[in-house]
Each structure stands twice: as structure tokens, then as C-alpha cells.
Structure 1
Amino acid sequence: MRIAVIGGTGLIGSQVVKKLNAAGHEAVPHSQSTGVDVISGQGLDEAVAGAETVVNLTNSPTFDEASAAFFRTSMDNLLAAARRGGVGHFVILSIVGVDQVPELDYYRAKLLQERILAAGPIPYSIVRATQFMEFMDAVLSWTADGDTVRLPATPIQPIAAKDVADAVAEVAAGAPLNGIRRIAGPEVFTLDELGRTTLSHKGDSRTVVTDPTAGMFAAVKGDVLTDRHAHLAPTRYADWLS
């Protein structure tokens, strides 16, 4: 199967391409570095030509209100190119709980992306994943101040990027779901607990202070970023850290 992976050189995309090709498919990565621009539309027709499936793993360069315009324009351009190219399956990666946190601009933008895809002309699949383990360093940096890191006690269910890539590759190689597959890590932590575990493993002496107002995840109410009924990935956080 020929599969065009847009955003195929990034953290998830590069692994998806590798996994699909190892399984015998012809997965081709496309990104700005290969001459494909999802905003201007440059190179899109050529990128999807002959592809049976398109996987869109591009992401907004910002997490603020501008992210909605990115997803609207990129999806409109990609779906139009895919329709012209006769693509039969369109896959995107989204977030578990994306429809439960309207306070966050980025989550509203990702939900918009899902809705544009579902309303479009092409059979589709949406993979919703929980928070990536690889993002923990960034989360710690957002609210770091000297010897202190402030984090809320938001429940999360971290998943390793390689497990996300496995799931995306599996969905891309299959028939369209015309719906959503949810994937999650095997364990639930509170974010402040996870911060302490991470710093301890790295030998970092900073202190994590529980602060319900700190950082982006302070806007999350309850346990909407976890999903015990999702497809559970195998990698545990302690094993990933090691």
C-alpha cells in the first residue's frame, strides 16, 4: 500500500514511516523540508499522487488562538488535494479528552480539525492519544522558577511516542474507521507526581510544588485526559525513563 505521511519527518511521523515500510508498505514522508507546505498548498498534489492513504501528522507552530487557523487551512488544503488524487483513507492524530477542555485554545483547534475531517469527502480515521511521555521535559519547563517547579495534580495517562507510532501505523494500514480509536499508556499519574518521578530519575534537585493554577493543564477539570477504556499501550513510564 502506498501511504503519504504528511509531517513524516517529526517525532511521530518518522517512526510511522519506518514502521509502515518495515511492514512492507510504501510510506513516503513529506514535510516543509521536502517541499510540501500545508498552508500555501505547495507540493500537496505531488505528495498525495498515487497514495491510497494519507496520514496527516502536521502540527500548529503555536498553541494559542492562531492554532485554529492553522488546522482549518491545512485540513482544507490537504482534503482538497486528497480528493483530487483519489485518496481512499485519511488519518489524523488527535488527543484523548480534546472535546472536554474548551478552555484551551489548542484543544478547541484540534477538535475543529477532527470535525473538518469527519465532515469531509474522504473515509477517515482519528487516533486520539493521551499525553506523550516525551513532552514531560517541556511541561516541567513551563512553570519552572529557580529551584521550584509548579504543577497541578491533573490526572494523566502518559504514552510513549513509539507506542503512538505503532497505533497510527496500524490504523493507516487498515480500513477506515470512520470514527475514533483511543490509545493510552498503561498507568495513571497526577502531573505533579509525574514531575517528581521525572526529576528524581534525572538527579534533578528541584522541588515540585502542587499548584492547581500552574501551567496549561490547570485548565483541565477532572480526569478527562485519561481513558481506562482506551487501547492500552505496553510501555510503562519507569521503563521509558530507563
Structure 2
Amino acid sequence: MKIAVIGGTGLIGSQVVKILKAGGHEAVPHSPSTGCDLLSGKGLPEALAGADVVVNLTDSPTFDEASPAFFQTTMDNLLPAAKSAGVGHAVVLSIVGADLVPDLVYYRAKLLQEDILKAGPVPYSIVRATQFFEFMDAVMSWTSDDKTVRLPATRIQPLASADVAQAVAEVCVGAPLRGTRNVAGPEVFTLDEVGRIALAARGDQRTVVTDNNAGIYAVASSDVLIVKGDAVIAKTTYRDWLAR
């Protein structure tokens, strides 16, 4: 099976390519560095030529008001080109709870991406993942100083990017879901708890202060970022990932 991995040189994409190749598939990474720019459409017909599946792992460069336009444009470029190339399955990676946090413009943008895919001309699958372990440091940096890290008690169910990549790869080689598959980590934490675990593991002496107004995840209430119902539950725990 030939699979075009758009965004195939990034954190998730590079791992997806590796997994697919190990499974005997022809996985080809595409990005602006390889001559394929989804935002402009440049190189897209060449990238999709002969592909059975396309997986779109590109992401908006910002989380602000510009993000909806990014996903609108890139999906408007991708889907007609995939249809013209005879691609039989289009996959995107989204976020658990994207439809439940309307105050986050980036989540609204991801929901827009999902809606465009669902209404498009190519059979589709959506993989929704919870927050990645790899992004926890960035989340903490947004509301930290030399002495404290301020984090809300928002409940999250984070997982390793390797487990996300595995879930995406498995969907790519299956029949189109014409729906959504959720994937999440094996443990539920509050975000401030994650901060304390991370700092302790690294010998960081800063104090985590619970502040339910701190950072972008402060607007995510209750259990909106936790998977409900059927989901793929990854095996890698946060402490094990930190220990590596």
C-alpha cells in the first residue's frame, strides 16, 4: 500500500512513516522541505500520484485566530487533489474534545478541519488524540517564572507521541472508518499534578501553584479533554516516559 504522509517530517509524521515502512508499506513523507506545500498546493499532485491513502499531519503554525484559515485552506487544497489522484482514503489527526472547548480558537479550527473532511469527496478517518507528553514542557513554560509554575486543575489523559503515531498508522492501513477513533493515555491527571510529577522527575525546585485561570487549558472545564466510550488506551505511562 502506498501512503502519502503530509507533514511526514514532523514529530508524529516521522514516526508514522517509520511504522508504516516497518510494516512493509510504501510510506512517503511530504513537507515543504520535500517540495510539497499544502498551504499553497505546490507539489501536491506529485505527492499524491499513485497513493492509496493520504494522511494529513500538518499543523497550523499558531494557535490563534489565524488557525481556522490555515485548516480551511489546506483542506480545500488537499481534498480535491486527493480526489483527482484517485486516493481512496484520507486520514487526519485531531484532538479529543475539539468540539467541547468553544472558547479555544485552535480547537474550533481543528473541528473545522474535521467537518471539511467529513463533507469532502474522499472516504475518511479521523484519529482524535489527547495531549502529548512531549508538549507538557511547553504548556508549563507559558505560565512559569524562576520560582513558580502556575497551572489549572484541568483534567487530562495524556499519552506519548509514539502511541499516537501507532494509532494513526493502524488507521491508515485499514478501511476508512467514516468516523472517529479516539486514543488516550492510560492515566488521568489534573494538569497541575502533571507539572509536579515532571518537575520532581527532573529535580526542578520550582513550585507548582494551582491557578484555574492560568494558561489556555483553563477554559477546558470538567472532563471535556478525557475520552468517553470506546477508545484506544495506550500503555505508556507518564512516569515511564519521563524515566526514559
The two structures have a TM-score, normalised by structure 1, of 0.99
* Superposition deviation, residue 44 in structure 1: 0.2
User: 1:228 & 1:70 partners in 2: Cα distance?
Assistant: 29
Which residue of structure 2 lines up, in the alignment, with residue 208 of structure 1? 208
User: 1:159 & 1:180 partners in 2: Cα distance?
Assistant: 18
Which residue of structure 2 lines up, in the alignment, with residue 150 of structure 1? 150
Query: What residue identity is the alignment partner of 2:11?
Result: L
User: 2:176 & 2:222 partners in 1: Cα distance?
Assistant: 32
User: 2:227 & 2:177 partners in 1: Cα distance?
Assistant: 19
User: 2:152 & 2:174 partners in 1: Cα distance?
Assistant: 38
Q: How does 1:157-172 map to 2 (within 5 A)?
A: 157-172=157-172
Which residue of structure 2 lines up, in the alignment, with residue 130 of structure 1? 130
Which residue of structure 1 lines up, in the alignment, with residue 59 of structure 2? 59
Which residue of structure 2 lines up, in the alignment, with residue 81 of structure 1? 81
Q: How does 1:217-236 map to 2 (within 5 A)?
A: 217-229=217-229, 230-236=231-237
Deviations 1:63-103 (A, max 9, x none): 00100000000001011110110000000000000000000
Q: Secondary structure at the match of 1:115?
A: helix
Structure 2: runs of 5 or more not aligned: none
Query: What residue identity is the alignment partner of 1:42?
Result: K
User: 1:14 & 1:48 partners in 2: Cα distance?
Assistant: 18
User: 1:156 & 1:41 partners in 2: Cα distance?
Assistant: 35
* Superposition deviation, residue 228 in structure 1: 4.8
Tell me whether 1:238 sits opposite 2:239 in the alignment. yes
The two structures have a TM-score, normalised by structure 2, of 0.98
Deviations 1:8-40 (A, max 9, x none): 000000000000000000000000100111111
Which residue of structure 2 lines up, in the alignment, with residue 104 of structure 1? 104
Give the number of equivalent residue pairs. 242
Q: After the TM superposition, which parts of structure 1 deviate over 3 Å for at least 4 consecutive aligned residues?
A: none
* Superposition deviation, residue 146 in structure 1: 2.2
Query: What residue identity is the alignment partner of 2:235?
Result: P
Q: Secondary structure at the match of 1:145?
A: coil
Deviations 1:200-237 (A, max 9, x none): 00110011000000000001011110115321011011
User: 1:231 & 1:39 partners in 2: Cα distance?
Assistant: 31
Structure 1: runs of 5 or more not aligned: none
User: 2:39 & 2:139 partners in 1: Cα distance?
Assistant: 28
User: 1:171 & 1:68 partners in 2: Cα distance?
Assistant: 25
User: 1:69 & 1:154 partners in 2: Cα distance?
Assistant: 28
- Percent identical among aligned pairs is 71
User: 2:14 & 2:98 partners in 1: Cα distance?
Assistant: 24
**RMSD of Structure 2 on Structure 1 (CA):** 0.6
